[in-house]
Amino acid sequence: MKLESVRWGFIGCGDVTEVKSGPAFNKVPNSQVVAVMRRNEEKAKDYAFRHGIPKWYNYADKLINDPDINAIYIATPPSSHCEYTLKAAKANKTVYVEKPMARTHEECLKMIKACKDNDVPLFVAYYRRYLPKFLKVKELIEKDVIGNVSFIKILLLKDLRIKNDQKENLPWRVVPEISGGGHFIDLASHQFDYLDFLFGPVLTANSFKKNISKNYNAEDYISAGFEFKNGVMGSGVWYFSVAEEFEKDKIEIVGEKGRIIFSTFDTDPIKLITKHGTKRITENFPENVQLPLIQAMVDNLRDNGKCYSTGESGSRANRVIDMIQNIN
């Protein structure tokens, strides 16, 4: 499918679309946001007015079937990703879906099949594959700066404890029926997709998980071991009920000649440690962090390049999450 101009419709226009993604669609040449949808019509109208978007809807089906739109950005919680992807594919619209791609790997496979059956592309918002900081880590590995990689360590400790005034109306990210799990699927999916970008698919994984805080039904502590198809080993600990002063965001890649240490969600410099000493490498982030990925998608759709964050690659992050969460 080749598109001369990519005309987007947003299903969902909440916080993630305000800065991270939304404005970038109009900054990329041959890309334009035509309409947005939100169930609350006044909020949809307000978003459209503030961002200079000509149309708004409060029903997804109306947006999906708008003939002026040829690409759909699904920016809703994961529980509706599969449903809207199937509808968009049936309408022969390109699909770009927020991460995690769905609640389970099984839902991802349904999405991939629907898009293949209708010959429409499917992309996933794993934008770290295109950010300079993460491309620099990939470059260091590919240039053999730390030698053959042996293993990877992940440590993600966050103060995401539920406040008393939230307990009657829990955030959707900790409601498994909506998110697919707790904060683990929301945050670790970014990490596993990026590691897939570096090392390929994870072959096996096992885990221990527990709900320590007891503030919601999803687990808030997970430790896991995993092995990539290429033989690289990995381990990780994720805990979302620490005090703020104990927060930690670190991935360490260990090779025979050195180590690379970097954060997934912070803007800390990359730390490269070799026999020559420690070097800190700082890379800038764009104002709209999804812009480089959106550029790659538009280039792909116009036959001017290839985008490497697809339904197939995005589904593999869900597969690892499922293995760690013991979902068959």
Range of the domain at 196: 132-285
* Region 251-261 average pLDDT: 98
Rounded to an integer, what distance in angstroms lies between the CA atom of residue 19 and that of residue 163?
26
- The answer to whether residue 324 is domain-embedded is no
Domain endpoint, select from 265, 285, 305: 285
- The C-alpha angle 106, 38, 286, rounded to 5 degrees, equals 80
Residue 269 has, within 13 A of its CA and on its CB side, a CA count of 8
Count how many Cα atoms sit within 13 Å of the Cα of residue 319 in the half-sphere of its side chain.
16
- The answer to whether residues 36 and 157 belong to one domain is no
Q: 57 with 159, same domain? A: no
Question: Which residue has better confidence, 81 or 163?
Answer: 81
Contact between 47 and 56 (Cβ < 8 Å): yes
Per DSSP, the chain holds a count of helices (H) and strands (E) of 11, 14
What is the rounded distance in angstroms from the CA atom of residue 287 to the CA atom of residue 258?
32
pLDDT over 90 for what percent of the chain?
Answer: 96
Mean pLDDT (the chain) is 97
Chain Cα centroid distance, residue 61: 25
Tokens of 301: 């759709």
Cis peptide, bond prior to residue 77, ω within 30 of zero: no
Q: Is the predicted pLDDT of residue 328 greater than 70, yes or no?
A: no
Q: Does a structural domain hold residue 77?
A: yes
At 207, which CATH number? 3.30.360.10
Instruction: Judge whether residue 83 has pLDDT over 80.
Output: yes
> What pLDDT does 165 receive?
81
Residues 101 and 165 in one domain: no
pLDDT at 273 over 90: yes
> What does the angle CA 114 – CA 198 – CA 228 come to, to the nearest 5 degrees?
80
Q: 157 and 274 share a domain? A: yes
For residue range 40-74, list pLDDT tens digits in order: 999 999 999 999 999 999 999 999 999 999 999 99
Asked, for residue 316, whether it belongs to a domain, the answer is no
Same domain, 136 and 170: yes
The answer, yes or no, to whether residue 294 has pLDDT greater than 70, is: yes
| 189 shares a domain with 226 | yes
Structural domain contains residue 322 = no
pLDDT of residue 285: 96
Residues 71 and 111 in one domain: yes
Is the domain of 171 the same as that of 223?
Answer: yes
How many Å apart are CA 109 and CA 314, to the nearest integer?
10
Strands 233-239 and 149-157: parallel
The 10 Å CB-count burial string (b at 16+, else e) for 50-61 is ebebebbbeebe
CATH number at residue 91: 3.40.50.720
Of all residues in the chain, what percent carry a pLDDT higher than 70?
A: 99
121/139 same-domain check: no
Q: Cα(134)–Cα(128) distance, rounded to whole angstroms?
A: 6
Same domain, 176 and 218: yes
Give residues with Cβ within 8 angstroms of 283, minimum separation 6. 131, 132, 133, 136, 270
CA distance 85 to 14: 18
Range of lowest pLDDT (135-139, 215-219, 252-256, 313-317): 215-219
pLDDT band at 231 (very low <50, low <70, confident <90, very high): very high
Specify whether 112 is located in the same domain as 209. Answer: no
Q: How many domains does the chain have?
A: 2
Instruction: Grade residue 260 by pLDDT with cuts at 50, 70 and 90.
Output: very high
Asked whether residue 168 falls in the same domain as residue 151, the answer is yes
Q: Is residue 202 part of a domain?
A: yes
